[in-house]
Structure 1
């Protein structure tokens, strides 16, 4: 295997990390990575970014917190499979003296090409998995060819321990020597929010048109089948509490369908669609409960934001949510698709202000202790330093 003069990387300075993406799109995983890079100690880790298709809308954000963003598109008509980018990636890794290459599971070109280039350049690679519990037939987090070649990588980054169990049980990770890589948990975290002024709650609730005694349930999720808004609407109807108000933040292809369902169920006074909003932390200040009815998730940032804001969570027990929410302590979890279960938990919280306050306080304490971007940056640093120390 190719080697470099500083084969034991990190011994003579910070670990050099290159994140390879198909495109720097605006997505949850990309935003977490950008925020993580902003909180790295440059004495220990320095990073740059390579995009294989185009820079993308988040490129400037990455430029502001890394050593730069480079784009390596296909080399022309003859480069149909994009394989021409492998030698260009190798040159980039060698020129920059990259120690660790990080690729995200949903950037499919990077997942294949960057891992091959890392081997050829004598660098190590880490595969970062950002999802689990995919429900579509034949759908996977990690493609089969990646699982069968995990031995080529020096690490598999997980969001939570339960994600590792899922990948082992459902996708064959660790089933043979070919499908093994050392596993690291790098939990999602968010930057500390700005302090909320006392008048913010009244301001937001006035904007939403809710009364002082209304119980506002916030659901922040794109309007897609994955988020199962129809189940949440059914739960609101079953809860049968006149003071329960569901505020849906997000947009997507299902909007017309869901608005028609609201009209059909006679829920116009109970449900408000706000569309896509950029001020979610501000909106959370006006809420009482956060809810999510997804059929699959990873570690949703929206739940961390809600807990940090002091809201109890009512959600379906999918993905790694049980690593975020403890039943009866800082929220409630019910099986996926269980509208009756969601309704019962929402009704209980609507009827008991003291319970809402108690669970919300515990949620906030836990989020501010565990789900911070500083913790994410620390775990990322430990991972890449460990990988860089290991011989390829």
Structure 2
């Protein structure tokens, strides 16, 4: 680590700590949502004394309306856009030199690579890498680039214990790596339990983009099995994603004769309302970090059924706050769905338990406070995560 990275630079107390969050502008995953939440929290909490800036790596399919919406809400926002990674880095370097951040927080793959490279070139004194998944597209080259950035990175954050453990296995230093579980805005769900479970539609909601990570295929096959057993619940699929992942699911729905049961909503503008009006939330997936959609289903008081994968199994206690099933197993998924569809008292109790756990452990305020503590601690011990920060970030 260079002397400039290891030194404790003073911060102009009149302007506060400047924090730049760099993340994908695709709006399809949880990384962008978390970065937006952190920026908003910094704006709302005057006592923290931080000046945030959100920088989005704009994609070809980035919806302009989402950027305009954030700007209208007062979120300080800039974008970079280039055909090459070098172009992205050059544009971000220019923004860093203009904004002069005290800390750059680089979220997600592969933005955490380009963001940290830009931070080094721009002389940003403190750098944080946030990993949002337990499995990413790390080629040997990308892994080598990630490991090469370890000496200039002050802290590594996994958004769940599973992601934290993955970072350690990849070679990140344990004394600079913490787990800060994702959190959600609980406001829309505060009165969720006032909607009686038996009065909700006996429908199934899966909020998830169409991608190779998500396992819509198993859900549709499970739904076909349920139909053979005489159960025909409506399934709401909410989320964006690419055509090459959505169209095979649409074909499978037609092949199984489920067109009258499956609704493709696309990007849904009122996910809390959709969840609260139905009984069951499903997350059928191959891997996760800590899925925000799952936390929202819990907060909504849904009976949750989810795949037993890292990032999920540490949130759901099987038989208490939801039901866990083997990954890529339509028969196990159908059995669990049949259980919560036919045993309403059980499903209702699972929803109540999940709601209470979400409010106890997965609120946005708790997450943002941990990030704030981490960033503040970097000004005390900039080259490593302090013991106090590690204890807070891991919930001890």
TM over 0.5: yes
Q: Deviations over 1:337-378 (max 9, x none)?
A: 011111111111122111001110000000011111111111
Q: Which structure: greater helix fraction?
A: 2
How far does residue 219 in structure 1 lie from its aligned partner after superposition?
1.2
Residues 1:241 and 1:379: Cα distance change in structure 2 (over 3 Å): farther
- List aligned pairs for 1:345-364, cutoff 5 A: 345-364=336-355
- List aligned pairs for 1:1-392, cutoff 5 A: 1-2=3-4, 7-9=9-11, 14-21=16-23, 23=25, 25=27, 27-40=29-42, 41-44=45-48, 45-50=50-55, 57-58=66-67, 61=70, 64=73, 68-70=76-78, 84-85=90-91, 88=94, 91-92=97-98, 96=100, 98-106=101-109, 107=111, 110-117=114-121, 120-121=123-124, 123-134=125-136, 143-169=143-169, 171-174=170-173, 182-194=176-188, 215-239=202-226, 240-252=229-241, 253=243, 254-392=245-383
Calculate the TM-score normalised by the size of structure 1.
Answer: 0.80
Calculate the TM-score normalised by the size of structure 2.
Answer: 0.79
The CA distance in 2 between the partners of 1:296 and 1:326, in whole Å, is 17
2:391 is matched with none
1:177 is matched with none
The CA distance in 2 between the partners of 1:275 and 1:267, in whole Å, is 18
Residues 1:280 and 1:353: Cα distance change in structure 2 (over 3 Å): same
Could you tell me whether the CA contact under 8 Å between 2:5 and 2:152 is conserved in 1?
Answer: no
Determine which structure has more spread, i.e. the larger CA radius of gyration: 1
Find the residue that maps to 1:320 and give its secondary structure.
coil
The CA distance in 2 between the partners of 1:63 and 1:154, in whole Å, is 33
Could you tell me whether the CA contact under 8 Å between 1:128 and 1:157 is conserved in 2?
Answer: yes
The CA distance in 1 between the partners of 2:350 and 2:307, in whole Å, is 17
Q: How many residue pairs were aligned?
A: 369
The CA distance in 1 between the partners of 2:88 and 2:17, in whole Å, is 28
Unaligned runs of 5+ in 1: 175-179, 206-210
Q: Deviations over 1:169-202 (max 9, x none)?
A: 3x3334xxxxx6611222211112336889x979
Q: Deviations over 1:146-177 (max 9, x none)?
A: 123212111011111111112333x3334xxx
Which moves more between the two structures, 28-37 or 332-341?
28-37
How far does residue 312 in structure 1 lie from its aligned partner after superposition?
1.8
Could you tell me whether the CA contact under 8 Å between 2:207 and 2:293 is conserved in 1?
Answer: yes
Residues 1:332 and 1:124: Cα distance change in structure 2 (over 3 Å): same
Q: Deviations over 1:304-362 (max 9, x none)?
A: 11101001211111230112211111011122101111111111112211100111000
The CA distance in 2 between the partners of 1:390 and 1:10, in whole Å, is 18
Q: Pairwise CA RMSD of aligned residues?
A: 3.7
Unaligned runs of 5+ in 2: 384-396
Find the residue that maps to 1:217 and give its secondary structure.
strand
The CA distance in 2 between the partners of 1:271 and 1:84, in whole Å, is 45
